[in-house]
Amino acid sequence: NAGVTQTPKFRILKIGQSMTLQCAQDMNHNYMYWYRQDPGMGLKLIYYSVGAGITDKGEVPNGYNVSRSTTEDFPLRLELAAPSQTSVYFCASSQTGTDYEQYFGPGTRLTVT
Amino acid sequence: GDSVTQMEGPVTLSEEAFLTINCTYTATGYPSLFWYVQYPGEGLQLLLKATKADDKGSNKGFEATYRKETTSFHLEKGSVQVSDSAVYFCAPQTRSNYQLIWGAGTKLIIKP
């Protein structure tokens, strides 16, 4: 099993550009998450999904959009990139319910200049 | 609201020293409790967990006990190694929506 995969690993965007961060998992997990991690900080939840076709906002959703058309994929769209979106982005997935751990991808390091 | 407090880092220790990283939380009900570790340049991975009061989670020589009365989940290891250098996150999981509550993490540096 590959677990949770993310592409790309690194990306530099100019202000105002858009891009999609890809995330896929092969563990048949219903729950998927997008986090951002700023330097020296913990994780902030951007969006999450409890199953295909269902998404909800987390703590910091502004400037981002998501979709969940399949169980496996959960892409994150950045529209009109801003320097404040410079961060490391992590995708995670988990089984449904409490007590289950979240499995994390390796992250995408995004710089907006 | 729900929150977690960890001791500030960096924590610097010599190899074979005893480690304690304190974690206290505020959460509705009785959350499951997790410790995650992030090695340099990598994503997070589960280190250990405990799902009810007095449970002890353990892995790779690390231990933490779910203390309901003090709402704490302190991480301990008897003898640390250079390879334990990483950032450690204590993360309670709310039972209402299964979200993890994240603090800033504690950076651990082990010197040979």
Beta partners for residue B79, in sequence order: none
Q: Is the pLDDT score of A16 beyond 80?
A: yes
Q: Which residues of chain B have pLDDT under 50?
A: none
Q: What is the mean pLDDT of chain A?
A: 94
- Summarize pLDDT for A54-86 with one digit per residue, the tens: 999 999 999 999 999 999 999 999 999 999 999
Torsion of CA A10, A12, A17, A23, to 10 degrees: 10
With an 8 Å Cβ cutoff, are B98 and A98 in contact? yes
DSSP string over B14-62: ETT--EEE-EEEE-SS--EEEEEEE-TTS-EEEEEEE-STT-EEEETTE
CB neighbours of residue B46 within 10 Å: 16
Q: Give the residue numbers in B contacting A (CB under 8 Å), as ranges.
A: 32, 34, 42-46, 49, 51, 89, 93, 95, 98-100, 102-105
- Summarize pLDDT for A25-51 with one digit per residue, the tens: 999 999 999 999 998 888 999 999 999
